[in-house]
Structure 1
Amino acid sequence: MSEFSCVDLPLDVEGGELRLVDDGALVRRSILPGGVRVLTERVPHARTASVGMWVGAGSADEGVDRLGSTHFLEHLLFKGTRGRSAQQIAERIDYLGGTVNAATGKQVTYYYGQVVEEDLPGAVDLLADMVAASRLAEADMELERGVILEELAMYDDDAGEVAHERIAALVFGPHPLGRPIGGTRESVSGLAHSSLTAHYRDAYRPRELVVAAAGAVDHDVLCSLVLGSLARAGWDCADGAPPAPRRRRADIVYGAPQDAAIGRSVEQAAVIVAMPAITDEDPRRYALFALNSILGGGTSSRLFQEVRDKRGLAYSTYSFPGLYHEGGLFGMYAGCSPADAANVTALMEECLEAMAGGGVGSAEVETAYRRVRADVAFGAESMGSRMSALGRAELVRGSLVSREESIRRARAVTAEDVADLAADLARAPRSRIVVGPEAAFSR
């Protein structure tokens, strides 16, 4: 098949084979027996490889009796397989000399490693063993339950973590994307072993698996490694099975804005103002990236200058988007003295409204573009970032946008585009959260 440049390329390719070139790196995609998808990006001159095994299930895909199970499985897959004990897994990770870890999100879970090129077969074998042959012993679950409860307690002591976790629920309401990724103390404490193993059987199957790798990797060799490792782990990859379709949940139905105050005995309050925003497929997302940079993305941003530099009301303040196929939010955060929480909240809102009033300068848009261009360039230097882009493109977005095209779209954003989008956000219903002592709750 001929090679071609990637602009915005759908990944549902007839026959499953795809070849493209992006910035000199060869990207390939194949569908293996069992519906396993393999995507690689061979980067010239790279001497390391990053490989990840992804499933398209996150906290938004849990049943009501399984809340927290996706994150629980991430922990438990390190606790032993049919062929390796937990200690042997740990020893193998250290022996490979690179990094082996995992991450759970609202839409995906993945297990990944970054190693020097000659150790890629060992990393693939270890990850496949963990994903396909996990023991999921009930005794291990009970032991790890305590670890996860301690992790949740650690985050619950952090006002900023609590604010970020709860703001999604305020904006998204009962939609599954508003759930906390790790579940709650109550759901984790009550999670049954049978529910956990049922969630594993639903999500961890050949047709649900995506293997993504970037760096010093040969596509055909990796495909052979994946099939061999999965077979040794006990998976039956029957030829002709189709990949699982991408999960598409119901669209978010935004309700009335909500304000919340959560008491915590902390020295610094965390405040967030957030509102509904665009989806991750909206062509205005590049304008949103520019808006985010101008409003709260750096030391010259509106929030940093107005809240920190001119008034000294916060050490950390920034804005952030949270975009999904089903909907999105846009938020502004600050950590401040409890006595200043109300003033800081009002000041953040004023910064957004000033942009909505058309006060966006061409110099700010140029700076935002240059930040996006730098982010793209720095991401290209990281094999882990390249690998993650492949996994998310396959499981979440369904298409691959080249780095050159991303820069072109960022370049095309105008000051008017940013101001118009800011006006849309400013008109949206705003939810607010304050986490801190009682002194932070007065408005």
Structure 2
Amino acid sequence: MTSRTHRATARTSSEGRAVARTQTLLKGTNGAGTVRRTTLPGGLRVVTETLPTVRSVTFGIWAHVGSRDETPSLNGATHYLEHLLFKGTEQRSALDISAAIDAVGGEMNAFTAKEYTCYYARVLDADLPLAIDVVCDMLTGSLIDAEDVDAERGVILEEIAMTEDDPGDCVHDLFAHTMLGDTPLGRPVLGSVDTINALTAPRIRRFYKKHYDPTHLVVTAAGNIDHAKVVRLVRRAFERAGALGGTDAAPIGPRSGNRAIRTAGRVEHLGRKTEQAHVILGVPGMSRTDDRRWAMGVLNTALGGGMSSRLFQEVREKRGLAYSVYSYTSGFADCGLFGVYAGCRPNQVHDVLAICRDELAQVAAEGLTDDEIHRAIGQLRGSTVLGLEDTGALMHRLGKSELCWGEQMSVDEMLARIAAVTPDEVREVAAEILGARPSLSVIGPLNDRQAARLDEAVA
């Protein structure tokens, strides 16, 4: 069990200048589960969770930048930069970077989202100093040579093509565009063929310099670690690169805002010669900071989060109309999306959409039963714990919590928030969210008559 504490210590230099501030954010039992944060000069934050009983560590660096920070002409730059940081530094070539982690049996990767980017390595606890040195070197010393930019351009274009070849993946990008239009959140993380071909090394270097200073970065580590040692190694790596800075700059805070999504009744259909039609029927959801997000999570779980959910039972089990059918939520700093996905034969797309629309309307009008809500609460609590059973998941929770909320919540606190959701709260959220007029995104080989009927699903 963990508990929240506000104890903090400040280290000072011989001149009395503050050089670091350490806080114990969550106090664990016998050291296990203890979460600490140290803020270094220049605004760099180091957040760790100690797990003495494991033999691995996952170390990551999070950047407070995603595709929503791009202008239209820079669309795809954040993801492009993610690739380029693996291409070499003054100390290491691209082969040196990968070989160093491979030589100790570790794993290294990165991902780009709409509001943040993460680089991480998972290694044995004894190899943590190596992982810190390699990942910090990548983040602070990337060369971003024009030659590497041109070489990696082909890789990214292939990644775009690969996504285009997977309609079950591509339809989510289409849905974001349907709901959010030609805005930073509505554009794809990968960019487009045109924007990737137009990006140059100087433009990417400027983007790198702007968004990768210490105030925009959060260092995270979870596993069999000592917090003070992680801070010491990170500080040494950043100082060696001249990337830390000597001033007490304040870290950048979580994003804020109150963006309203007013899209309703919009339909986008992309014709493709696929075996299935891939559809997402959805409405505006909630921002990730909305206090009602716990009730929204329960609603989503009951409606389309598992094999006992309404959508799975109605669409797949009772009628056999789809293999994959589920609902999901996407929460951003200032808005959110709720969608229902299904993949089905093209000639059955209207039957699937009618069932999904009817279920959404029924739950909005009548709510879920108490049994459905209690079952969803249990399912959500269990999946939350099971999803945090490895150091990689814990590292992810630390980084995302620090960037998106500016605070850490223990697993016990999360479980308590889920358990405290009442049936009335779920029904109120259902009436508000699911009662809105939906929009629709479809990828598949529909004929003219089938395509013309898509408006029926959002009428």
- Structure 2 CA distance for aligned equivalents of residues 70 and 232 of structure 1: 25
- Structure 2 CA distance for aligned equivalents of residues 232 and 249 of structure 1: 37
Secondary structure of the residue aligned to 1:52 is: strand
Q: Partner of 1:217 in structure 2?
A: 225
- Structure 1 CA distance for aligned equivalents of residues 416 and 36 of structure 2: 23
C-alpha spacing 1:143/1:397, structure 2 compared with 1 (3 Å): same
Following TM superposition, by how much is the alpha carbon of 1:442 offset from its aligned partner in structure 2, in angstroms? 4.3
- Structure 2 CA distance for aligned equivalents of residues 379 and 232 of structure 1: 36
- Structure 2 CA distance for aligned equivalents of residues 250 and 152 of structure 1: 31
- Structure 2 CA distance for aligned equivalents of residues 159 and 117 of structure 1: 40
Following TM superposition, by how much is the alpha carbon of 1:236 offset from its aligned partner in structure 2, in angstroms? 4.4
- Structure 1 CA distance for aligned equivalents of residues 93 and 164 of structure 2: 31
Q: Partner of 1:202 in structure 2?
A: 210
Determine which of 15, 23, 44 is the counterpart of 1:18.
23
Determine which of 375, 396, 412 is the counterpart of 1:367.
375
Secondary structure of the residue aligned to 2:269 is: strand
C-alpha spacing 1:93/1:74, structure 2 compared with 1 (3 Å): same
C-alpha spacing 1:222/1:22, structure 2 compared with 1 (3 Å): same
Secondary structure of the residue aligned to 1:80 is: coil
Q: Partner of 2:276 in structure 1?
A: 268
Following TM superposition, by how much is the alpha carbon of 1:253 offset from its aligned partner in structure 2, in angstroms? 4.3
1:135-160: CA deviations, max 9, x gaps?
10111111110010011001111111
C-alpha spacing 1:267/1:238, structure 2 compared with 1 (3 Å): same
Q: Partner of 2:348 in structure 1?
A: 340
1:195-218: CA deviations, max 9, x gaps?
111110111112222101111111
Secondary structure of the residue aligned to 1:113 is: strand
Secondary structure of the residue aligned to 1:342 is: helix
- Structure 2 CA distance for aligned equivalents of residues 242 and 397 of structure 1: 16
Q: Partner of 1:5 in structure 2?
A: 3
- Structure 2 CA distance for aligned equivalents of residues 256 and 360 of structure 1: 24
Amino acid at match of 1:181: V
Secondary structure of the residue aligned to 1:400 is: coil
Following TM superposition, by how much is the alpha carbon of 1:359 offset from its aligned partner in structure 2, in angstroms? 4.4
Matches within 5 A, 1:161-172: 161-172=169-180
- Structure 2 CA distance for aligned equivalents of residues 33 and 306 of structure 1: 56
Amino acid at match of 2:288: D
Determine which of 122, 127, 132 is the counterpart of 2:135.
127
The higher relative CO (CA closer than 8 Å, separation ≥ 6) is in 1
Q: Partner of 1:27 in structure 2?
A: 35
1:78-125: CA deviations, max 9, x gaps?
111111111111211211312110010001101001111000000000
**Does residue 1:81 correspond to 2:75, yes or no?**
no
Q: Partner of 1:191 in structure 2?
A: 199
- Structure 1 CA distance for aligned equivalents of residues 183 and 295 of structure 2: 26
Please list every run of 5 or more consecutive structure 2 residues that lacks an aligned counterpart in the other structure.
Answer: 11-17, 454-459
Matches within 5 A, 1:428-439: 428-439=436-447
- Structure 1 CA distance for aligned equivalents of residues 260 and 166 of structure 2: 28
- Structure 1 CA distance for aligned equivalents of residues 391 and 240 of structure 2: 27
- Structure 1 CA distance for aligned equivalents of residues 56 and 260 of structure 2: 40
C-alpha spacing 1:287/1:246, structure 2 compared with 1 (3 Å): closer
Structure 1 runs of 4+ aligned residues shifted over 4 Å read 13-16
- Structure 2 CA distance for aligned equivalents of residues 229 and 252 of structure 1: 42
Whether the 8 Å contact between 2:266 and 2:439 is mirrored in structure 1 is: yes
- Structure 2 CA distance for aligned equivalents of residues 55 and 234 of structure 1: 18
Moved more, 165-174 or 95-104: 165-174
1:10-47: CA deviations, max 9, x gaps?
x9x99843202156411100101221100011123122
1:356-413: CA deviations, max 9, x gaps?
2324222212221111221222133111111111111111122222211111111122
Matches within 5 A, 1:93-172: 93-172=101-180
Please list every run of 5 or more consecutive structure 1 residues that lacks an aligned counterpart in the other structure.
Answer: none
Amino acid at match of 2:241: A
Amino acid at match of 2:27: V
Whether the 8 Å contact between 1:362 and 1:415 is mirrored in structure 2 is: yes
Moved more, 239-248 or 139-148: 239-248
Secondary structure of the residue aligned to 2:58 is: strand
Matches within 5 A, 1:32-431: 32-248=40-256, 251-431=259-439
C-alpha spacing 1:81/1:415, structure 2 compared with 1 (3 Å): same
RMSD: 2.1
Secondary structure of the residue aligned to 2:284 is: strand
- Structure 2 CA distance for aligned equivalents of residues 248 and 300 of structure 1: 36
C-alpha spacing 1:408/1:59, structure 2 compared with 1 (3 Å): same
- Structure 1 CA distance for aligned equivalents of residues 94 and 407 of structure 2: 37
Identity fraction in percent: 41
Secondary structure of the residue aligned to 1:401 is: coil
Q: TM-score, normalised by structure 2?
A: 0.91
Whether the 8 Å contact between 1:68 and 1:183 is mirrored in structure 2 is: yes
